[in-house]
Chains A and B, each alone.
Chain A
Amino acid sequence: MADVEFELTVDGTTSAVEAGFSESLLTVLRDRLGVRGPKVGCAHGRCGACAVSVTVPGEDAHVLCACLVPAAIVAGCAVSTIASINGPDGELSDVQEAFLAEGAVQCGICTAGFVTAATELLDTNPDPTREEIEGALYGNLCRCTGYGRIVAAVEAAAAGRREATS
């Protein structure tokens, strides 16, 4: 299959890409663009380690598994990886801080995916219930933590946002 050429905007930088027709966004990010924040856990959409946020022009951002999406499909969209998540001055975001404070990180291979998904959750629902947290994060696997600290981190970040706005 011949390669296709397209432009991809990742974390605010637009690059020309030449890739296989069905080459996944994850492979293009990691192997062609050297963007290694999204991780490979399964390459089959079952673990969420590769989660990135994609904004189709005129629509809301969506978190999806970069391993499942052919890169060419998101040409023209804005792809945000974990590298785009931080506080206004480049410091850690509230979600990232909460993950560290609550002990939600062990080996950390799942962390970029969880932070990405949890950030999207809190951006759209600043006061999630336990069920809503589970609903937003069940596509992300973690083998180290048993999830308890991850739930605690998301709840702590949500509480912080509530305090900041009240």
Chain B
Amino acid sequence: MTGGIGESVRRPDGPAKVRGEFVYAGDLTADDVLVGVTVRSPHPHARITRIDTTAARATDGVHAVLTADDVPGDPWFGLTMRDEPVLAGDVVRYAGEPVVALAAVDAATARRAARAVVVEYEVLPAVTDPEVALTAPPLHPQAHPEGNVYRHVAYTCGDPDARGVVTVENTYRIGMQDPAFLAPEAGMATPLPGGGVLLEVATQWLHSDQQQVARALGLPPEQVEVRLAGVGGAFGGREDVTLHTHACLLALATGRPVRVEYTREESFLGHRQRHPGTIWLRHSADADGTIVAVEGRVLLDGGAYASTSPVVITNTVTLLQGPYRVPNGRFEGSSVRTHNPSCGAMRGFGVPQAAFAHEAQLDALAAALGLDPLEVRLRNALRRGDVATFGQTLDAPTPVREVIEGVRDLPLPTGPAKAPGGVGRAAEGGTVRRGVGYAVTIKNLAFSEGHTDESTATVSLRDGHATVHCACAEVGQGFVTVAEQIARTVLGATTVTVTQPDTLIASAGSTSASRQTMASGTAVHRACEVVRDRLLARVARAGDLDPATLSIAGTTVCAAGRPLTEVADAAPGHTVRATEHFAHPDTYPLGSTEGGMYVGFGFSAQRAVVDVDVDLGLVSVVQIASCQDVGTVVNPTQLLGQIEGGIVQGMGLALMEEVVVVDGLITNPHFEGYLIPTIVDAPEVVSTYVTDPEPGMPHGWKGVGEPPLCTAVPAVAAAVRAATGLPLPAVPIKPEHIALGLGSTPTVTWTTPRPAAPSSPGRAVVELDPTDRTGTWDAEGATGA
């Protein structure tokens, strides 16, 4: 059997990609195509006093100039809360907010016309400090009159006031990270006969786009057909609508196809970032390192519009416990509206923030007790059957001990490495010190808290050729390969075509949350099984055989284990077809007694080895060893690609990537100022796996895309701490943090042990009084400024 599940099958779209022939969204064009551009607000908060488009309209070659008044349907859109205007009409709430969309014959004309648009603003004070926003009057009273908190979550478990002999606390800060996919947003809208529109766009979630665009256009969803255009990376940053509606509005207004492609700067301004946040954590433990209680508080800056802020905050707060047993705890957090850039999904979805903080705490605990950091982690490792702080029983494999042992046993790299600083190194430094750090994380997989996680696939088979149709967006991760592997293994197909995803089939949900192999892979698997059974039933009828004796091995139909015919010859000229749906078991909101919040979890451990030039503050990541819980290995090469890619994005957040926002303005919306790791920065990666099959999933597969990033952030930070002896409570760790020793040290208190009150219920309690706050914010120390 070649090309099936478990093999390093090559990507079917690979040959076109290495030849430069693969068509990306930015490559789309059509006869008569117009180019759309967006006029954006330069202010983070202002009232629009006048929009004058006369000169723009009068520009030769301009075909449409649209403002908020030209939105025929719902003027508001958004993934969780419809709070964002399609085009701002009266108030702008972040710098970069779209105000006018226009289309012209070519890009130069469109840009000239955009400069001719006059927008006058009355600049208003911007609230850019999330701490201030918490209690400030509503920043967006129209959509959100209650205040600025997107969501507040709070719960306790056990007796939060229980104490061990030592208590360690600190405040941690995580910077804003940009998904920085390499192909900026692009798409093309084409009017359809009958008043509808076709949108070809680089996206992660076709059906969400369809719903949101249709609503704004005032059309029924079936009048908006969304088709995936070639996607150049996503990482969460394409989960929200950006240019989609503008392109469709312009196409319908002009009656011509309109293509829109963002510049890199617009890409920074236009899509959602990873939430920056501040996390206070207090861990109390016994002398042997056993965790007695954890208290935590999170504040995430959600920026101007909600996007997924109400969802992300729950991930951060509930996973503050890390992959550890925490019998007693008190957890609280908010995501809050400000006038900063909007934040939403990015690979890890709230968990890298939690992971950075809880892993720093575990190391601080180990240091305070004079214990080995791995020993402390092993002592507290979650096991199958344990109950998480948020009340969910971990009833699937929970190989925390196994992933830790998996990295512990790998040999350390030896010998000299390259000088820290890479190509950016401008001076000879002084002392270079090596550091080794560990991190272990838990990441929830798939949608959570009652958001249905489902997918649908149609598979047909004719003369051994399988065709797979599913709305799962291929963004680079390799679902197209996995779908092909499934069809080969289940159906014995000799060739497979995975068709371009569109909204003509039911939703596959978003390509996010490490979920598509589980959801769409399983839908494809089910459809393949039904097609196989139908084919075998047909063969049985034709040959008067008992269908129960028939099976497919490789590409051959077997009767009672003996070759009967090739799949390709089993039903000449006949197409066998099936559409199947898959949905994970239901999930429930935090605090529900009906069931768990999460579909499942993935666990990962990493060991980072770094060299630090302690005088210049420069870091070189020499090696990262990883051991990840992956269920089963579906495609070894693609799996390694997810691990390596995730690790390098995580080290980017740990060491160099930060969207710098000053008074609501991004000061580095370009690759000159926003540094993503280069080939020189990337470490050697050693990747090993724990394969304990996930129950309920074909072959026991599970999501793998996010854990590597979540773990790399704290692992790299731990290694730099080990090399420097500095507390480094903020990421990205900048050269000045190291060279000047900035950042507050964890506070260690020796406490009188106090066992948990026996009456304390072990179950989660939600919605504590929001004023019942724990701990103190120490933002100054946390930023290290």
Contacts and interface: CB of A to CB of B under 8 A. Distances in A.
Interface stretch (A70-78, A79-87, A158-166): A79-87
Interface of A: 20, 30-31, 34, 36-44, 46-47, 49, 81-83, 85-86, 92, 96, 99-103, 105-112, 115, 131, 133-134, 137-138, 140-151
Given A146-B644, A148-B644, A105 B18 contact: yes
A147 B638 CA distance: 13
A31 B26 CA distance: 11
Contact of B232 (A39, A44, A147, A149): A39
Given A96-B18, A138-B678, A146 B264 contact: no
A149 B644 contact: yes
B261 interface: yes
B219 interface: no
Interface in B405-429: 418, 422-423
Contact of A106 (B422, B641, B648): B641
Main secondary structure of the interface of A (DSSP, over half): loop
Interface of B: 8, 10-11, 13-15, 17-24, 26-27, 29, 106-108, 180-184, 231-235, 261, 263-264, 418, 422-423, 475-478, 637-638, 640-641, 643-649, 670-672, 676-680, 682, 684-685
6 contacts: A36-B20, A85-B19, A105-B17, A142-B679, A146-B685, A147-B677
Given A39-B24, A92-B18, A110 B477 contact: no
A134 B679 contact: yes
Most buried by B among A39, A40, A42, A107: A107
A46 B670 contact: yes
Contact of A150 (B13, B670, B679): B679
Nearest to B261: A40
Contacts of B647: 146
A106 B263 contact: no
A81 B21 CA distance: 11
Contacts of B180: 143
Contact of B264 (A20, A31, A43, A103): A43
A115 B18 contact: yes
B264 A39 contact: no
A141 B478 CA distance: 19
Q: Which 8 A-B pairs have the closest CB atoms?
A: A107-B476, A37-B20, A109-B232, A108-B17, A82-B20, A146-B648, A146-B644, A46-B671
B461 to A, nearest CB: 26
Given A105-B14, A145-B641, A42 B264 contact: yes
Contacts of A20: 108
Contacts of A138: 422-423, 678-680
Contacts of A109: 24, 181-183, 232-233
Contacts of A101: 10
Contacts of A39: 20, 24, 26, 182-183, 232
A38 B418 CA distance: 32
Most interface-central of B13, B14, B263 (chain A CB within 10 A): B14
B14 A146 contact: no
Contacts of A40: 26, 183-184, 261
A84 to B, nearest CB: 10
